[in-house]
Amino acid sequence: MTSDHQSPDSSRVPGLLPEVPRQGGYGPVTDGAWSSSPYRHAAASWGAAKSVGSILFQQRELIRGARSMFVMNHPTGYDCPGCAWPDDKKLTLDFCENGVKHVTWEMTPKRVKREFFAQHTVSELADWTDFELENEGRLTEPMAYDEQSDRYVPISWDDAFTLVGDVLRGLASPNEAAFYTSGRLSNEATFLYQLMAREYGTNNLPDCSNMCHEASGRALKASIGTAKGTCDLDDWEEADALFVMGVNAASNAPRMLTALANATRRGAQVVHINPLVEAGETKTIVPHEIVDMAMMKETSVSDLNMQVRPGGDLALMRGLAKVVLEAAESDPTVLDRAFLEDFTAEFEAYRDLVAATSWDEITAQAGLSEEEIRRAGQIYLDADKTVISWCLGVTQHEHGVDTVREITNLLLLRGNIGRPGAGPSPVRGHSNVQGNRTCGIDHRLPAWADKLDEVCDIVSPRANGFDTVNSIEAMNDGRVKVFVGMGGNFVLAAPDTVYTAAGLRKTELTVQVSTKLNRSHLVHGRRAVILPCLGRTEKDEQASGLQGVTVEDAMSMVHISHGKRRPASTELKSEMAIIAGIAQATLPESRTPWQWYVDNYDRLRDVMAKVLPGFEGFNELIKVPGGFRIPQSARERVFQTPSGRAEFSLAPMPNVIPAEEDVLILGTMRSHDQWNTTIYSANDRYRGIKNLRELIFLNEADMRARGLAEGDFVDITSTSRDGSQRTLRRFRALRYDLPRGAASGYMPEMNALVGIADYSTQSDQPLMKNVAVRISKSA
């Protein structure tokens, strides 16, 4: 793989994009024959069980791993560090294949020790695959980069904190540092982290949410006054219709399959909206139903699949609204008139806007026929209660905010919000990405900042800080000199890999708080430290005894999580302790009792209870098994918008059809066998792929038009908004059932194609589902 990168610094990043093509992408190198054949079985069936078995075996965790599954997602156990799907309290075994992978990956008995770093220079490690790096196992002690030997060498915790503190105190301005968060940081660590950043004097708090659900938050805030969905699992269970947009549920939120299967069984309608028909969009064997599994009894999870054009979701939503408003002309019961009258603003203007939008425009932009849209519209009309849910297929586009607002418009028409069985329900990503925002990870000042200042006796900076895209720019032009990564793998997760890497390399210092070795440790600043932390599954022992931490799931439920296992190394510190260590070294005059909070997390929770709305009585609330729900005013039909009403949006219809005929719209996505930048294998079971990650899925007609046969090598060139081009070479073209003009392939290999200028002007989210590319046969 090579990259012809034309942004300011075009120097190659060693190891990041190997010159010599290898098969397996950033995953394990494989010389096994690659293959592509349609998957014909139900999602989550024995294939999943078999895969769980093989993963446990691989990581030699058979016994301990199996036992761990029984305490996962249980009131007495730990929260699965995987996705943010809520726990079903009625199930004794609520876990999924991918959660198991995720947990065993963390629980591996393999260890990265100081001898490992002594044996390998950083330049040498840079040539390893990302799989090989992570597969070395858990990090065990703090390490600092030594320029002389090009190696990481051991450093004591005290010296590491002093080093970080000295550099941070030496900056001309606190705004020369950026503090990144990946979404599995607990609520407590999150709160302490933002407190540190704000007391230090910056709002530079980029996070993975900037690449994930920023659009959902902004849209919902504008439409209904709260930045979150309003549904919980009970609503999913009560809905008559479920619309599921732009999510690969079978791989990325597998426990959703249970909800979908239950819905179809009780006669609810399930509509999937996705350019690809994903495995979880046809049939499943419900993961927990052992008897059904034994008998291979499948349950349908779909009534209608709509293969929308990439970015065509807004047009589709407007089409559905058109069906509703047309029906309302002859049937007075179609609209919830009382709700529209009492609780919403701008309904008439929206009705006029929909009337003025022609069917021709809608069908062209949605890439669906009027008949198909009418069918889905009828499902919506027939349902008394509807939930609409969505993930990255909706958000990672230029018009992500408008699209989520259009989803809300559609729900408002029939009063599908603030009553049981109905509402907007974004599917969040990382297990605590929603909690991170609640607890203050935001480059803009949270609404409760005055309270924070008062309770914590600090003065938060008022100006907006840098988000993810801004931080990358700022590192490249020298405005940010220190990058702190609280989890995650920034260099691979971010867009424009080569440019992001160049930015990180220009910094004075990079600090990575991690559980496993990854690429972000190798693409470092002039100085660098790796600070190893406890994982969610491990016991966290502090002065006052064992500690628990809380997380918030995608449905606003907050509950406590207690690690059960012996830590991977006695040298590991909790994220709380690491943040406190950095804070004390950076802010010697601070009046914040950092260590006192670490000694007993209850003390910090008492502070959080005073600052965060809905957390009053925090320590008491989490004693209730299953935790508590953060009150959501929109759920009670109290809309905290400027007008005090739910606001219809009046977005112009975007044109999502590329102007040039040879341009394809590429969406980057996850395979079944990966967790973001962590890649377990080069297989993608539900899409029928074996031993291959450097691939691009294309419509058959688009392949024919380019004279491409199945498996041909192609070069993929993206053209950014700023005119710069980026190329990935020798990816295999594969036929797939997706609309003409659409293409699809894997992140993070394809992140090198996403230009830094290509982010949404509405949400600032990188356009990871909307990369304009041309492809040609490789030389």
Ligand X SMILES: Nc1nc2c(c(=O)[nH]1)N[C@H]1C(S)=C(S)[C@@H](COP(=O)(O)OP(=O)(O)OC[C@H]3O[C@@H](n4cnc5c(=O)[nH]c(N)nc54)[C@H](O)[C@@H]3O)O[C@H]1N2
Residue 563 binds to ligand X (criterion: CB under 6 A): no
Distance, CA of 485 to CA of 205 (rounded, Å): 10
- Segment 402-441, which members bind Mo ion (CB under 5 A)? 429
Residue 751 binds to ligand X (criterion: CB under 6 A): yes
Nearer to ligand X, 65 or 225 (CB): 65
* Position closest to Mo ion via CB: 429
Window of 62-70, 205-213, 272-280, 502-510 that interacts with Mo ion by CB under 5 A = 205-213
C-alpha dihedral (117, 146, 150, 144), degrees to nearest 10: 40
Which partner, ligand X, Mo ion, none, binds residue 340 by CB below 5 to 8 Å per kind?
Answer: none
For residue 257, give both structure tokens.
């399959």
Nearer to Mo ion, 493 or 522 (CB): 493
CB of 100 to ligand X, least distance (A): 10
Residue 98 binds to ligand X (criterion: CB under 6 A): yes
Which partner, Mo ion, ligand X, none, binds residue 535 by CB below 5 to 8 Å per kind?
Answer: ligand X
Applying CB under 6 A, among 769, 772, 773, 775 the residue interacting with ligand X is 769
- Segment 662-681, which members bind Mo ion (CB under 5 A)? none
User: Any long-range contacts for 263-266 (C-beta under 8 Å, 24+ apart)?
Assistant: 263/236, 263/237, 263/239, 263/301, 264/299, 264/300, 264/301, 264/302, 264/303, 265/299
- Segment 103-132, which members bind ligand X (CB under 6 A)? none
Helix axes of 601-611 and 449-456: crossing angle, nearest 10 degrees: 130
Give the number of residues in contact with ligand X, rule: CB under 6 A: 63
Residue 489 binds to ligand X (criterion: CB under 6 A): yes
Task: Identify which of 398, 694, 472 has the alpha carbon closest to the alpha carbon of residue 7.
Answer: 472
CB of 393 to ligand X, least distance (A): 2
For residue 417, give both structure tokens.
């919000």
Task: Identify which of 590, 568, 564 has the alpha carbon closest to the alpha carbon of residue 579.
Answer: 590
> How is residue 749 annotated by DSSP?
G
Contact 204, 466 (CB under 8 A): yes
Nearer to ligand X, 246 or 418 (CB): 246
C-alpha dihedral (154, 159, 162, 164), degrees to nearest 10: 0
Distance, CA of 269 to CA of 722 (rounded, Å): 44
Residue 747 binds to ligand X (criterion: CB under 6 A): yes
Task: Identify which of 621, 561, 545, 557 has the alpha carbon closest to the alpha carbon of residue 76.
Answer: 561
Nearer to Mo ion, 80 or 143 (CB): 80
Distance, CA of 738 to CA of 744 (rounded, Å): 9
Binding mask 375-394 for ligand X (x = CB under 6 A): ----------------xxxx
Which partner, Mo ion, ligand X, none, binds residue 252 by CB below 5 to 8 Å per kind?
Answer: ligand X
Q: Which helix (H) or strand (E) holds 668?
A: strand 664-669
Beta carbons within 10 angstroms of residue 556's beta carbon = 23
Residue 212 binds to Mo ion (criterion: CB under 5 A): yes
Residue 500 binds to ligand X (criterion: CB under 6 A): no
Residue 251 binds to ligand X (criterion: CB under 6 A): yes
Applying CB under 6 A, among 13, 231, 239, 245 the residue interacting with ligand X is 245
Distance, CA of 88 to CA of 236 (rounded, Å): 12
Q: What share of the chain is helix, strand, coil (3-state, %, to 5)?
A: 35, 20, 45
CB of 212 to Mo ion, least distance (A): 3
Applying CB under 6 A, among 72, 164, 212, 219 the residue interacting with ligand X is 212
Instruction: Kindly report the backbone phi and psi dihedral angles of residue 499, in degrees, each rounded to the nearest multiple of 5, phi listed first.
Output: -70, -40
Q: Which residues contact 491 (CB under 8 A, 6 or more apart)?
A: 16, 497, 500, 501, 504, 519, 520, 523
Nearer to ligand X, 614 or 658 (CB): 658
Contact 192, 436 (CB under 8 A): no
Q: Could you tell me where the beta strands, DSSP code E, fall in 672-737?
A: 674-675, 678-679, 689-690, 695-698, 713-719, 725-735
Q: Which helix (H) or strand (E) holds 250?
A: helix 249-252
CB of 651 to ligand X, least distance (A): 16
Which partner, ligand X, Mo ion, none, binds residue 579 by CB below 5 to 8 Å per kind?
Answer: none
CB of 276 to Mo ion, least distance (A): 18
Applying CB under 6 A, among 56, 80, 83, 404 the residue interacting with ligand X is 83
Amino acid making up residue 164 = V
Residue 536 binds to ligand X (criterion: CB under 6 A): yes
Which partner, Mo ion, ligand X, none, binds residue 310 by CB below 5 to 8 Å per kind?
Answer: ligand X
- CA angle (435 as vertex; 206, 256 as ends), nearest 5: 110
Q: Is the peptide bond before 254 cis (omega within 30 degrees of 0)?
A: no
Nearer to Mo ion, 176 or 214 (CB): 214
Nearer to ligand X, 429 or 755 (CB): 429
Give the number of residues in contact with Mo ion, rule: CB under 5 A: 2
Binding mask 265-304 for ligand X (x = CB under 6 A): --------xxxx-x--------------------------
- Residues at the site binding Mo ion, with contacts judged by CB under 5 A: 212, 429
**Which residues form the interface with ligand X (CB under 6 A)?**
81, 83, 98, 134, 182-184, 208, 211-212, 245-248, 251-253, 273-276, 278, 308, 310-311, 313, 391-394, 429-430, 486-490, 493, 513-516, 518, 533, 535-536, 575, 667-670, 674-678, 747-748, 750-751, 754, 768-769
